[in-house]
């Protein structure tokens, strides 16, 4: 049985994350979405809220489970007995940092392998931090995140403001 872990903060989960989860779930027998506690980040959603949203958006994927962890990823992988990490890549800049993390993880535990998946082109610009920023400024993010996440962002920040495209001055 091939099992893999897709780790991340998922604050919040985006359509880009969901794309990787859906595609990765077709490649392995079991995919664990591992929501990490990152003490160096100030999260918008609590660990429990992030886990709930992921469970809801992945409810139709029978071989996907959701877990949480803190500390080193390699320690978590050893604890759950999974040697494969799935990581999504959007751009060259992602590759540079993810390559470094993959090398470190393999150095810490030689049994660990990291598999990289390119995100779908339509999601290549998405990041949780950008979604949070747009939602905070009451911009529309409904095309960037699953419905449950959009609802929670609207609850937190209010509905998107109308687009003021007509306010441009002309001479």
Determine which one of 3, 67, 90, 127 is catalytic: 90
- From 41, 75, 156, 161, the catalytic residue: 41
Contact 49, 77 (CB under 8 A): no
Q: Active-site residue 90, yes or no?
A: yes
Active site residue 111: no
Which has the closest alpha carbon to 16: 146, 156, 115? 146
The span from the CA of 149 to the CA of 35, in Å, is 15
Active-site residue, selected from the candidate residues 9, 50, 87, 128:
128
Catalytic-residue membership of 75: no
Cα dihedral 149, 152, 156, 158 in deg (nearest 10): 90
Catalytic annotation present for 128: yes
Q: Are 57 and 146 in contact (CB under 8 A)?
A: yes
Which residues are annotated as catalytic? 17, 41, 90, 128
């Amino acid at each position: 049985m091939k099992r893999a872990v897709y780790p991340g903060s998922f604050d919040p989960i985006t359509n880009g994350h969901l794309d990787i989860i859906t595609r990765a779930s077709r490649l392995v027998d079991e995919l664990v979405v591992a929501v990490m506690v990152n003490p160096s980040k100030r999260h918008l959603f609590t660990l429990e809220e992030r886990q709930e949203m992921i469970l809801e958006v992945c409810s139709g994927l029978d071989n996907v489970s959701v877990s949480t962890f803190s500390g080193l990823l390699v320690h978590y992988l050893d604890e759950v007995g999974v040697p494969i990490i799935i990581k999504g890549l959007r751009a060259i800049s992602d590759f540079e940092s993810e390559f470094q993390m993959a090398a470190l993880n393999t150095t810490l535990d030689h049994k660990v392998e990291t598999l990289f998946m390119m995100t779908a082109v339509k999601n290549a610009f998405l990041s949780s931090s950008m979604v949070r920023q747009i939602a905070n400024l009451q911009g529309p993010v409904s095309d960037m995140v699953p419905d449950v996440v959009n609802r929670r962002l609207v609850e937190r920040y209010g509905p998107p403001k109308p687009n003021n495209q007509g306010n441009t001055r002309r001479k």
